[in-house]
Amino acid sequence: MKTFQSSWHIICFFMVFNFHFQRKRQPGTTGNVLPENERNKEDMMQITIGLRQHVGAPCQPVIQAGDRVERGQLIARPEGLGANIHSSVAGMVTAIEPAQSIIIEEDSNQPNNFVPIPETSSPLDAIKEAGVVGAGGAGFPTHVKLAGSIEGGCVIANAAECEPMLAHNIAFLEKSPETIVRGMEYLLDITGASIGYIAIKPKHKKALIALGKAIQDKKNIEIKLLPDMYPAGDERVIVREILGHVMQPGELPSVYGALISNIESIKNCALAIEQRRPVITKDLTVSGRVSRGTQVFFDQPIGMPVGNYIDLAGGLGLGSGEIVMGGPFTGKSVTMENPITKLSGGILVAMEFPKDQRKFGILECECGAGNERLTEIVAGMGGTVVANTMCKRMVEVNGRFRCDKPGECPGQAEKVLQLKREGAEAIVTGTCQD
Where do contacts with ligand SF4 occur on this chain (CB under 6 A)?
Answer: 231, 365-367, 391, 393-394, 403, 405-407, 409, 431-433
**What is the spatial distance between Cα 195 and Cα 8, in angstroms, rounded to a whole number?**
51
CB of 365 to ligand SF4, least distance (A): 3
Question: Quick one: 401 exposed, middle or buried, by C-beta within 10 A (0-12, 13-18, 19+)?
Answer: middle
Distance of alpha carbon 355 from alpha carbon 297, whole angstroms: 33
- Which string of b and e fits 340-379 if b means at least 16 CB within 10 Å? bbbbbbbbbbbbebeebebbbbbbbbbbbbebebbbebbe
Q: How far is CA 128 from the centre of its chain?
A: 20
Q: Name 236's Cβ contacts closer than 8 Å, sequence gap at least 6.
A: 246, 247, 249, 251, 403, 406
Stated as kind and residue range, the H or E segment containing 325 is strand 320-325
Helix (H) or strand (E) holding 105: strand 101-106
Please provide the size of the chain in residues.
434
- Choice between 120 and 433, CB closer to ligand SF4: 433
- CB-wise, 11 or 304, nearer to ligand SF4? 11
Shortest distance (Å) from residue 370 CB to ligand SF4: 11
As a whole number of Å, the end-to-end CA separation of the chain is 10
Query: In 3-state terms, the chain is what percent helix, strand and coil (to 5)?
Result: 25, 30, 45
* Least distance from ligand SF4 to the Cβ atom of residue 1, Å: 18
Residue among 174 and 364 whose Cβ is closer to ligand SF4: 364
Report, in Å, the least distance between residue 330 CB and ligand SF4.
11
Nearer to ligand SF4, 174 or 366 (CB): 366
Of 311 and 366, CB closest to ligand SF4: 366
User: Nearest approach, Cβ of 426 to ligand SF4 (angstroms)?
Assistant: 18
Q: Which residue, 238 or 391, has its beta carbon nearer to ligand SF4? A: 391
**One-letter amino acid of 179:** T
**Least Å distance between CB 101 and ligand SF4?**
33
Between CA 376 and CA 360 the distance in angstroms is 12
Is the CB of 178 or the CB of 251 nearer to ligand SF4?
251
Least distance to ligand SF4, CB of residue 231, Å? 6
Which helix (H) or strand (E) is 196 found in, with range? strand 195-200
Strand pairing class (426-429; 359-364): parallel
> For residues 298 and 329, which CB has a smaller minimum distance to ligand SF4 in the complex?
329
Least separation in angstroms between CB 393 and ligand SF4: 4
